[in-house]
Amino acid sequence: MNIPTAVQKYLNKFADNNHVLETSSEKYFNNIIVIPAIAEYENIQVLLKSFLSGSSKHFNYTLICFVVNNTAGVSPEILHANYETLEFLRELIFNRSPDKYNDLKMEINSSGLNIGLVDTSSPNNVLDEKNGGVGLARKTGMDLALHYFDYNNQYKKLLICLDADCRVDSDYLDVIIEEMNSLNAHAGYVKFEHNWDGLDENAEAIVCYEIFLRYYVLGLMFANSPYAFHTIGSTMICDHEAYIKVQGMNKRKAAEDFYFMEKLAKHYPIYKIDNTCIYPSGRGSWRVPFGTGQRVNRFISKMQDEYQLYSPKSFELLKKWNDFFFSDSAKTVEEIYIKAEEIHPVLKEFLALNSFEKDWKNIVSNSKSIDQLRQQKKLWFDGFRTLKLIHLFRDKVFENVHMFDALDIILELIGEEKKITRQIKIIPDIPTQLEYLKLLRHYA
């Protein structure tokens, strides 16, 4: 397969070339699903079965690539778990012992689904201690995927991210592939709903965390932010053109998803795939320093009051700023500072803290058209700076608000007419919390 020049340039400059993809297939693909896995032997089987329960229309042109990963310093228990996973996946791929996992192998073979493996776990293959983690694991798999696309047809070459502890809807692949191709979308994410069993403390933790995630995105939507989308690793999708445009995945041990999606959003619209769903695990986890697993752990340990959200007033001020800053009228630094102080003095302080005056002069001098100026504004006031501003509002003027008071306010601000009955200032029961979550899932 002849790799396009732009792809080869990316591989020469940015790719990790220390690992190989193990697969029995000699085909090239239109879609490659990259799944980091560490101590996920049982979850991988559940995930594969959820794929096999659905349509096989696109299986022949799709590769599921597991990146089994760890650094040298992990415990013997993790090493053993990863060894089990490697043996299991190699058996599925190469069928060395016909009597092992026979039913699953037969089902995979008859479906046409292709399985691949990247071993970043065995002694000479481990990820380096400094960078080893989910970001580098995703990057390793996504970079390798660029070698295995069929660049000779007109279909998009899709890099689809997923996690090993997820399940997917039966139409997951069909919807992603068909919508991304029909819309000519370069980047997107899939609708998600966290998975939990029963209504125990773990379920309470994940409901609380998902409300937090969706409230923040809904606040950004209300504020007309160009960064109003979820940044969850198991939901991310881009085509190969977008991937090399943003110089690939980063190596971060945590928040790799936030920074990758932010990079994509600086160059492309982020499309939400709403007609299928993935179901991430709601378990506690040691795998990353923050995110779902750590928030569940923190909730259960009762380290702090988790039923707090950013004040809706912060999003109201953010909306005023976005509506002003992203408008097309030409503005001087002085005009921008005057308007910022009019919106709120803390906003003017934020601009000064972030060297806005110096940056704005560079933005104006480097923008030869309205379109370029719009793009430069979007690059400057990005998703990270947006979050920093919300945090500054929280720290300086608007303390966090009781979760369900904040929800009532933001839902009213967006025009939601349904009122959920609850006792004021008391954490409602789980059925009531799920009513709120259902509304949030509808909007964000």
Amino acid 94 reads F
* Same domain, residue pair 260 and 333: no
* Same domain, residue pair 252 and 362: no
Q: What is the dihedral of CA 379, 383, 388, 393, to 10 degrees?
A: 110
Q: What is the pTM of this model?
A: 0.94
The rounded Cα 1 to chain-centroid distance in angstroms is 30
Q: Using pLDDT thresholds of 50, 70 and 90, give the confidence band for residue 88.
A: very high
* Same domain, residue pair 86 and 232: yes
Long-range interactions of 396-401: CB distance < 8 A, separation 24+: 396/346, 396/349, 397/344, 397/346, 398/310, 398/311, 398/313, 398/314, 399/311, 400/308, 400/309, 400/310, 400/311, 401/308, 401/309, 401/310, 401/311, 401/312
* Same domain, residue pair 233 and 338: no
DSSP string, 322-357: HHHHTSSS---HHHHHHHHHHH-HHHHHHHHHTTHH
Q: Which structural domain, as residue segments, surrounds residue 405?
A: 400-443
Helical spans, DSSP H, in 154-291 = 172-182, 201-222, 240-245, 256-265
* Same domain, residue pair 262 and 379: no
Q: Using pLDDT thresholds of 50, 70 and 90, give the confidence band for residue 423.
A: confident
- Among 253, 280, 301, the domain-final residue is 301
* Same domain, residue pair 231 and 284: yes
- Give the H or E element holding residue 105: helix 102-111
DSSP 22: B
Range of lowest pLDDT (80-89, 161-170, 185-194, 426-435): 426-435
Mean pLDDT over 410-420 rounds to 95
* Same domain, residue pair 142 and 180: yes
What's the structural domain count of the chain?
3
Tokens 């769903």, residue located: 277
In-domain check, residue 306: no
Tokens 């923040």, residue located: 216
List, for residues 208-252, the tens digit of each pLDDT value.
Answer: 999 999 999 999 999 999 999 999 999 999 999 999 999 999 999
* Same domain, residue pair 87 and 210: yes
* Same domain, residue pair 293 and 327: no
* Same domain, residue pair 47 and 185: yes
Residues 6+ apart with CB under 8 A from 129: 71, 72, 73
List, for residues 277-324, the tens digit of each pLDDT value.
Answer: 999 986 544 444 545 566 666 666 566 778 999 999 999 999 999 999
Q: Using pLDDT thresholds of 50, 70 and 90, give the confidence band for residue 196.
A: confident
In-domain check, residue 307: no
The whole-angstrom separation of Cα 64 and Cα 266 is 28
* Same domain, residue pair 21 and 153: yes
Mean pLDDT over 322-342 rounds to 93
